[in-house]
Amino acid sequence: MDAQVLLNISNLHAGYGKIRALKGINLQVRQGEIVALLGSNGAGKSTTLKAISGLLLPEEGSIEWEGASIRGLAPHRIAERGVIHVPEGRRIFSGLTVLENLELGAFTIRKEKRLVKEGIEQAFALFPRLKERAKQLAGTLSGGEQQMLAISRGLMARPRLLMLDEPSMGLAPIVVQEIMAIIAEINRQGVTILLIEQNAKAALRLAHRGYVMETGRIIMEDEADVLYRDEKIVKAYLGA
Amino acid sequence: MNTLVQTLIDGLVIGAFYSLIALGYTMVFGIIKLLNFAHGDLYMLGAFIGYSLLSLVTGNGEGAAGLLGIAVVLLLTMTVVGVIGMGIERIAYRPLLLAPRLSILITAIGVSLILENGSMAIWGAQYQVYPLQLPQTGWSFGGAQLTYTQVAIIAISVLLMAGLQLFVRHSIYGKAMRAIALDQTASSLMGIDVHRVIALTFFIGAALAAGAGVMAGAYYGTINFMMGFIIGLKAFTAAVLGGIGNLPGAMVGGLLLGLIETAGTLVLGGSWKDVVAFSILIVILVCKPTGILGEKVTERM
């Protein structure tokens, strides 16, 4: 069941000034998958996502999306191709309303008013609490609600790949469960997902495959349930 | 009583000019945190380009431009200066967006000097008479006079400001502007072309200043290449008065400054005009640094 490879990264090197954050990453994401990217702090997970979404210019290696290189494109060009990055720390527009945040999420499809309207309805169906707070400033939402908004905003563009950076960060366990369930639901609706998580166990329960990173390299990749059962790995690298 | 009404009318007209210029100041500050000290010179440039275009229509003021002619000149000038504003952003400011704030501020002062001296080279250092005769008639009640010209200036200004407010509040590009003011990185991840929206902001700001320039040229009758300097500082005062980065604040601040200044002139005499304006700036900076409508953080536009 080899589905089509959507994202193909090979030998990716990137860094910040003199710091080498990525030292030759190879990673594939196939159509319909949830892929978990795991590892401790500073392993290079967020840097990998930044390189894919164009926030960071790689020094070496290739990033192919649907067979074409997207390396070196501006972030908005990559978003236009359906690769949407929900960054660490949610980064919602706190001074705009919930509804305005969602509308901006649909910026790439702004001319198709019907799709924008549908997207907003779907977001409200997925997270009824956002509907109640549609006219409120996003900065007044609770942490969990802000994360829901960040995910919904990412979905508004109808992405074919949704990259989520630590969606459970700073949230109460019950809210984490809710968010994880929603991510699974989004995937069932056909969105391919690349997920970064500190909470490795939760991520592996959800994912089809996983990569484990350490100091800028991928040190392991396998089916999610294989990684999940490997107590040694979980203890040594994932801190769970 | 008459003088009070007259002060109110004159103050509103001057305040409208301040507001239109202050809007550009505050928009640019909101989106890239730059105090664009060249902004007042775009008002001057608007006055001069409007002057040249009107000269083509009226031939040194002998012919009449007609309402349609004036409208076309106004819109054309706003467009041309808007494009110049975009060009300034592209050439002078964009390469420095990631540089220390001081570099871009000094560049703004450099741009201001280039615009002033460039205009002097093109149009000369002497005062130029605006090639347009506006009606001095209107309504008078008691001793106070409200001319048709004043009504037109206030009406056009209100129209421009209302249009801007609608655009920024309700259009997707207006929302993108406010989003970029809050978080550029997150905006780019939504697929927003950040540079393009910044360029659009400069276009709008420059066009509004140019509109004020044409109207001021027609209203006062004479223009000069240094006319943007002091009014630029006053508009900056107005923006700070209303809360820098805040659009309704710039509008309110401009009108308020115009009114206070005119009233101050009435009480203290014309030579105290600038003293009154800048004293207000000092008082605000001491008492309420965030301005009338300004907030400490979060939303800036």
- Whether chain B has a CB inside 8 Å of the CB on A97: the answer is no
* Reported confidence tier of residue B289, pLDDT bands at 50, 70, 90: confident
Question: Residue B61's pLDDT is what?
Answer: 53
Per the model's pLDDT, the better-predicted residue between B63 and A17 turns out to be A17
* pLDDT higher than 80, residue A2: no
Question: Residue B294's pLDDT is what?
Answer: 76
CATH superfamily of A1-82+159-239: P-loop containing nucleotide triphosphate hydrolases (3.40.50.300)
In 3D, which of B254, B256, B289, B250 has the Cα closest to residue B27?
B250
d(CA B18, CA B252): 10
Question: Residue B287's pLDDT is what?
Answer: 87
d(CA A129, CA A146): 11
CATH class for the domain made up of B2-287: mainly alpha
Express as a percent the part of chain B with pLDDT over 90: 72
* Reported confidence tier of residue B267, pLDDT bands at 50, 70, 90: confident
CA distance to partner chain A, nearest, from residue B297 (Å): 9
d(CA B105, CA B101): 6
Q: Which residues in chain A touch residue B186, judged by CB atoms under 8 angstroms apart?
A: 87, 91-93
Question: Residue B299's pLDDT is what?
Answer: 45
Question: Residue B60's pLDDT is what?
Answer: 56
Q: Which two tokens stand for residue B114?
A: 């280039």
- Whether chain B has a CB inside 8 Å of the CB on A80: the answer is yes
* pLDDT higher than 60, residue B22: yes
Lowest mean pLDDT: which of A44-48, A74-78, B98-102, B281-285? B281-285
Q: Which residues in chain B touch residue A137, judged by CB atoms under 8 angstroms apart?
A: 298-299
- Whether chain A has a CB inside 8 Å of the CB on B197: the answer is no
* Reported confidence tier of residue A238, pLDDT bands at 50, 70, 90: low
Give the one of A79, A94, A139 whose C-beta lies nearest to B191's C-beta.
A79
* pLDDT higher than 60, residue B257: yes
For A58-117, write each residue's pLDDT tens digit: 999 999 999 999 999 999 999 999 999 999 999 999 999 999 999 999 999 999 999 999
Contact between chains at B192 and A91 (C-beta distance less than 8 A): no
Domain boundaries, chain B: 2-287
User: Mean pLDDT score of chain A, rounded to an integer?
Assistant: 93
- Whether chain B has a CB inside 8 Å of the CB on A46: the answer is no
d(CA A53, CA A36): 17
Question: Residue B301's pLDDT is what?
Answer: 52
**Would you tell me the crossing angle of helices B101-123 and B39-58 to the nearest 10 degrees?**
20
User: Phi and psi of A111, rounded to 5°?
Assistant: -80, -20
- The predicted model gives A228-239 an average pLDDT of 72
A33 alpha-carbon distance from chain centroid: 12
Give the one of A103, A108, A139 whose C-beta lies nearest to B298's C-beta.
A139
pTM of the model: 0.92
For B172-204, write each residue's pLDDT tens digit: 999 999 999 999 999 999 999 999 999 999 999
Sequence-distant (6+) residues with CB within 8 A of A137 are A94, A95, A96, A97, A98, B298, B299
Express as a percent the part of chain B with pLDDT over 70: 95
Question: Residue B4's pLDDT is what?
Answer: 84
* Chain A residue at shortest CA distance from B182: A93
For B35-84, write each residue's pLDDT tens digit: 999 999 999 999 999 999 999 887 655 566 678 889 999 999 999 999 99
* pLDDT higher than 80, residue B297: no
Helices (H), B142-272: 148-170, 172-182, 184-189, 194-220, 227-242, 247-268
- Whether chain B has a CB inside 8 Å of the CB on A118: the answer is no
**Vertex A36: Cα angle to A63 and A203 (nearest 5):** 160
Give the one of B179, B193, B299 whose C-beta lies nearest to A104's C-beta.
B179
* Reported confidence tier of residue B105, pLDDT bands at 50, 70, 90: very high
CA distances from B106 to A42, A187, A189, B109, B228 (A): 38, 51, 53, 5, 18
* pLDDT higher than 90, residue A139: yes
Domain boundaries, chain A: 1-82+159-239, 89-157
- Whether chain A has a CB inside 8 Å of the CB on B190: the answer is yes
Are residues B3 and B194 in contact, defined by beta-carbon separation less than 8 angstroms?
no
Contact between chains at A87 and B190 (C-beta distance less than 8 A): no
For B109-164, write each residue's pLDDT tens digit: 999 999 999 999 999 999 999 988 787 888 887 788 899 999 999 999 999 999 99
Give the one of B172, B182, B192 whose C-beta lies nearest to A94's C-beta.
B182
- Whether chain A has a CB inside 8 Å of the CB on B97: the answer is no
Q: Which two tokens stand for residue B163?
A: 């249009």
- The predicted model gives B224-239 an average pLDDT of 94
CA distance to partner chain A, nearest, from residue B55 (Å): 42
Per the model's pLDDT, the better-predicted residue between B278 and A150 turns out to be A150
How many CB atoms are located within 10 Å of the residue A205 CB? 14
Mutate to test the interface with A, among B168, B183, B188, B189 (most CBs of A within 10 A): B189
User: Mean pLDDT score of chain B, rounded to an integer?
Assistant: 91
DSSP-assigned states of every residue in A143-199? HHHHHHHHHHHHHTT--SEEEEE-TTTT--HHHHHHHHHHHHHHHHTT-EEEEE-S-
Q: Which residues in chain A touch residue B191, judged by CB atoms under 8 angstroms apart?
A: 76, 79-80, 107-108, 157
Q: Which two tokens stand for residue A34?
A: 């949830």
For A191-217, write each residue's pLDDT tens digit: 999 999 888 888 999 999 999 999 999
Specify which residues A15 forms β-bridges with: A20
